[in-house]
Structure 1
Amino acid sequence: MSHKILLVEDDCNIAKLIVYELKKEGFQVCHVADGKSAINKVLAEYFDLVILDLMIPKVDGAEVCKSIRTNISHRYMPVIIVSAKDDDIDKIIGLELGADDYITKPFNKRELTARVKAHLRREQLLELINGDKAYKSSDHTNNETIQVGSLVMNLNKHQAFIDNKKLQLTSKEFELLRFLALSPGQVFTRNELLENIWKTKYRDQKTVDVHIRYIRQKIADTGWDQQLIETVRGIGYRVIDDTKE
């Protein structure tokens, strides 16, 4: 069965181009031109992925993205923002809203298709892992839980706690923290994190820095004042066990 994609784009010419390219790759594509219709579609039907413009009528793309992420049934559905807004702050806001990727217009149609495929492969892998409860690591985790010092992550419930206080993480932030926590003490470069979490190395490394910064801020918001994610200058990041400091 082919994957079903929802395209939310009010520019008819761009929409036609995207629909043509995706259908050529064997995807089913449903196109709507405004945010209200997008929200209604997501509530009424199942989609494997959403391609979302930010500047759309009736309800803007930011609100559509927030609506998707607050609905538990669609919390992990990949969302790719395709927007003419190309400032770093717009990209950061888009990612913080819960988007999994951000592509600026004008874009390369092959790049868009490649990113769609990459996110769908990642979702298939996560479904396989979650279904088989096959998360692997050293003695820091069992089938359902990762614990590194004061950090506890429940993989089935997709929840993370620091010192018994819940962290309000987006799906991408959770994946990033989980990946680091599976190998406490091991340093990962930004490129390694891009390849493992975003499934691409052809992406601005600032993406990793932004997500790390938000995770740290959310940890600090709980009142926790110790270091969990350490920056290794010139290399990357690692999770440290506070009980061994």
Structure 2
Amino acid sequence: MQTVLIIEDEKDLAELVSFNLEKEGYRTIAAPDGISGLDEAQRQVPDLILLDLMLPGMMGTEVCKILKKSEKTAKIPVIMLTARGEEIDRVVGFEVGADDYVVKPFSTRELLLRIKAVLRRSLPDEPSGKTMRIGPIAIDPDRHTVAVAGEEIVLTTTEFKLLLNLAERLGRVQSRDLLLKNVWGYNYVGDTRTVDTHITRLRTKLGPAGDLIKTVRGFGYKMEEP
């Protein structure tokens, strides 16, 4: 049974989400603020976290930053919940490591589809038995690890999937829409900025090796040998 941690200060909403998730077979944990949410994440290590952006005491973005900096919780996928739908909020959410973003009010069906898609992305791929090497980058699909010049770097599940998708199609241009379909697992209509934001963060984490990911202006991205 997969566990979902709900960090949400609106009690009625948290209870409604919890009720619907448990109907679908998930186990749920609720936390009313960022501090208790961080404690629960460390203590129980859930399979996914639903994180409200506007929380008392500590913003959801700060909670997400802390989660992604901790080795124990860095790879837990995070879906941000917020009543604010401006593009800047989505971008900030992705920049601090969120895997997806749902704007309130949302339907239960939409939320469940997003949760299933994110959890599906976090499942390990079939063992390949080999490490992919592109220049200084070493990608181990079985262990879900990435190293640059021998030093391991921490990627979110989505960042790893994105890098692996580009690496497996080395030299081939991938449109933003195709990357959304292959990596995110559903059609994020009209929001290709999601891809751009994750590519920017991925390049930053890879350091100079991030230059191997090339932008194809007006279309998408590709990865090339050095």
TM-score (norm 1): 0.81
The within-5 A match list for 1:64-75 is 64-75=63-74
CA contact (8 A) 1:184 1:238 kept: yes
CA distance in structure 1 between the partners assigned to 2:130 and 2:69 by the alignment: 23
* Match in the other structure for 2:106: 107
The CA deviation at 1:60 is 2.5
- Alignment counterpart, residue 238 of structure 1, candidates 215, 219, 222: 222
Amino acid at match of 1:240: E
Q: In the alignment, does 2:171 pair up with 1:185?
A: yes
Alpha-carbon distance in 1 for matches of 2:217, 2:63: 38
> In 2 relative to 1, CA 47–241 (structure 1 residues): closer, same or farther, beyond 3 Å?
same
User: Matches of 1:116 and 1:15 in 2, distance apart?
Assistant: 15
Deviation at 1:216, TM superposition (A): 3.3
**Alignment length (residue pairs):** 224
Q: Take 1:190 and 1:145, find their aligned partners in 2: how far apart are those partners?
A: 26
Q: Of the two, which has the highest radius of gyration?
A: 1
Shift in alpha-carbon separation, 1:74–1:166, aligned structure 2, 3 A: closer
TM superposition shift of 1:202: 2.8
Change over 3 Å in CA distance of 1:168–1:21 after alignment to 2: closer
CA distance in 2, matches of 1:29, 1:86: 26
Moved more, 146-155 or 65-74: 146-155
Distance 1:98 1:227, change over 3 A: closer
Cα displacement string for residues 183-227 of structure 1 (whole angstroms, at most 9, x for unaligned residues)? 2111222122112211111341110111122333445xx456x94
3-state SS in 2 of match to 1:64: helix
Q: Conserved in 2, the CA contact under 8 Å of 1:4 and 1:28?
A: yes
Corresponding residue for 1:208? 195
TM-score, normalization by structure 2 = 0.87
1:174: Cα distance to partner?
Answer: 2.9
Match of 1:153 in 2: 139
CA distance, structure 2, for counterparts of residue 234 and residue 206 of structure 1:
12
Pick which of 169-178 and 101-110 moved more.
169-178
Structure 1 residue 168: deviation in Å?
Answer: 6.2
* Structure 1 residues 160 and 178: CA distance shift in structure 2, 3 A: farther
- The residue number in structure 2 matching 1:120 is 119
Cα displacement (A) at 1:6: 0.8
CA distance in 2, matches of 1:78, 1:4: 12
Q: 1:14 to 1:199 in 2, by over 3 A?
A: same
Residues 145 and 152 in structure 2, CA contact (< 8 A), matched pair in contact too: no
The answer for the alignment partner of 1:139 in structure 2 is none
The percent identity for this pair of structures is: 38
Q: Secondary structure of the equivalent of 1:73?
A: coil
Residues 137 and 146 of structure 2 are in contact (CA less than 8 Å); yes or no, is this contact kept in structure 1? Answer: no
Query: How far 1:38 sits from its partner (Å)?
Result: 0.7
Q: Deviations over 1:77-107 (max 9, x none)?
A: 1111001232222211211211111111122
Q: Which runs of 5+ in 2 are unaligned?
A: none
CA RMSD of aligned residues (A): 2.4
Q: 1:40 — aligned with what? A: 39
Q: Matched residues in 1 for 2:205 and 2:71: separation? A: 20
Q: Deviations over 1:45-79 (max 9, x none)?
A: 13111101021123332222122222222222111
Hey, what does 2:160 align to over in structure 1? 174
